[in-house]
């Protein structure tokens, strides 16, 4: 809900367009209508929904491909590889890792966020629905046991290079790191 309006604001730099309509309200109303029209058709949540699983799979593959393409472009197109990005980031460690401000960013907070993120993989409704409700065959658990960790590894390979490259190229945008990609 926050990402789409933030994207609108980054793309539509002209404030007059944003004064006419509130992107957050438009997105919320659109999502509500979509949920009513398509989500309320079938109230049997235990029924297999291949369309939903296809949508989740396509979204995951598109997201992975886009992130890998951007990561490769940033790492080897804009910089000279991992060593170049990490070397430049090491020259500005305070700007790169703002753990010098314990009130806003500390190792304890980072560890707590990491734990919550790891737990979210299994306990969020979407993951539970995909792993338990929509899982029709027990043998699929074997494929998921290696493919999901591989997916997580691949989607996170370029997180630090993109973050460091964004901070190096756009040093004034430290708080707006969501716009680096």
pLDDT tens figures, 125-172: 777 777 777 777 778 778 878 888 899 899 999 998 998 888 888 877
Q: 63 or 1: which carries more pLDDT confidence?
A: 63
Which token pair is 78? Answer: 């804009």
Closest CA to 165 of 101, 96, 97, 100: 96
Closest CA to 49 of 38, 33, 62, 61: 38
Written as six digits, the tokens of 65 are: 């491909």
Task: Supply the pTM of this predicted model.
Answer: 0.69
């Amino acid at each position: 809900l926050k990402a789409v309006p933030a994207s609108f604001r980054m793309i539509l730099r002209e404030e007059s367009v944003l004064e006419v309509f509130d992107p957050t309200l438009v997105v919320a109303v659109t999502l509500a209508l979509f949920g009513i029209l398509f989500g309320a058709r079938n109230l049997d949540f235990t029924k297999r929904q291949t369309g939903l699983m296809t949508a989740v799979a396509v979204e995951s593959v598109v997201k992975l491909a886009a992130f890998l393409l951007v990561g490769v472009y940033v790492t080897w197109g804009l910089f000279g590889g991992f060593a170049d990005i990490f070397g430049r980031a090491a020259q500005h460690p305070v700007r790169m890792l703002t753990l010098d401000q314990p009130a806003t960013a500390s190792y304890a907070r980072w560890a707590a966020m990491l734990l919550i993120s790891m737990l979210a993989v299994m306990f969020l409704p979407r993951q539970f629905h995909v792993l338990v409700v929509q899982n029709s065959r027990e043998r699929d658990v074997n494929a998921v046991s290696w493919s999901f960790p591989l997916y997580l590894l691949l989607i996170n390979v370029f997180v630090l290079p993109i973050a460091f490259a964004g901070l190096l190229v756009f040093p004034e945008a430290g708080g707006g790191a969501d716009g680096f990609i």
